[in-house]
Chains A and B, each alone.
Chain A
Amino acid sequence: AQSVAQPEDQVKVAEGNPLTVKCTYSVSGNPYLFWYVQYPNRGLQFLLKYITGDNLVKGSYGFEAEFNKSQTSFHLKKPSALVSDSALYFCAVRDMNNFNKFYFGSGTKLNVKP
């Protein structure tokens, strides 16, 4: 079965510090992986995706994610956090056996303190 896991319900960082939001996946074959962000009272917004190629993927708002096949991870990173980055972050994987399906993690709340 395809799945993703976000082991941390919440991540707290100080503004200006680097941030990491963790995601691990379980798929058969090569994964298509995504990160989305959800601000309060808003829908999910696409940040970035990994399909193939370079393991470091750059996305919107200065975010990037590192694909690590041996550790089956796709962690979201940003070198310098902003207070405005505070939101709920979701990792997702596309089902390689059924392209109609996406599997989302339970979300990680990022809290960036001034």
Chain B
Amino acid sequence: ETGVTQTPRHLVMGMTNKKSLKCEQHLGHNAMYWYKQSAKKPLELMFVYSLEERVENNSVPSRFSPECPNSSHLFLHLHTLQPEDSALYLCASSQTVTGLPYEQYFGPGTRLTVT
């Protein structure tokens, strides 16, 4: 459970606020992911970083801005969000995405509420 940590665990923000979500992995992985989890919907892949380079941006609105300063840390910067952005945001990590089917390890998530 402590392999991937996320802070804060809960966040309430207004539509005009700017906040950041933080993820840290202690597993020596070199790929990191952001997912959005909404009730009764499939997990939505948002961003993928491999070897600190963004390799996937899954048509995510620009009000979400990721940052990966090194292979252990991943941020999601939030600004001018909408109420429909309220969800559980999950961070995950895995070995590098070079074709081998490595499983992902997930953090506990940040429960975001946009008011």
Contacts of B101 in A (CB 8 A): 32, 34, 49, 51, 94
- Chain A 1-50 residues near chain B, CB threshold 8 A: 9, 32, 34, 36, 41-46, 49
Which residues of B are at the interface with A, using a C-beta cutoff of 8 A? 1, 4, 6, 40-43, 45, 48, 50, 55-56, 58, 90, 92, 97-99, 101, 103-109
Q: Quick check: is A99 within 8 A (CB to CB) of the other chain?
A: yes
* Partner of B50 from A9, A42, A100 at Cβ < 8 Å: A100
How many of A's residues come within 8 Å of B, CB to CB? 25
Name the residue on B nearest A51 (C-beta): B101
A34 smallest CB distance to B (angstroms): 6
Contacts of A104 in B (CB 8 A): 42-43
Residues of B within 8 A of A9 (CB): 40
Q: Which residues of B contact A103 (CB under 8 A)?
A: 42
Does B42 contact A105, Cβ atoms closer than 8 Å? yes
By a CB distance below 8 angstroms, the chain B residues around A41 are: 108
Complex Cα spacing A43 to B111, Å: 11
Q: How far is the CB of B14 from chain A (nearest CB, A)?
A: 24
Chain A: minimal CB distance from B92 (Å): 8
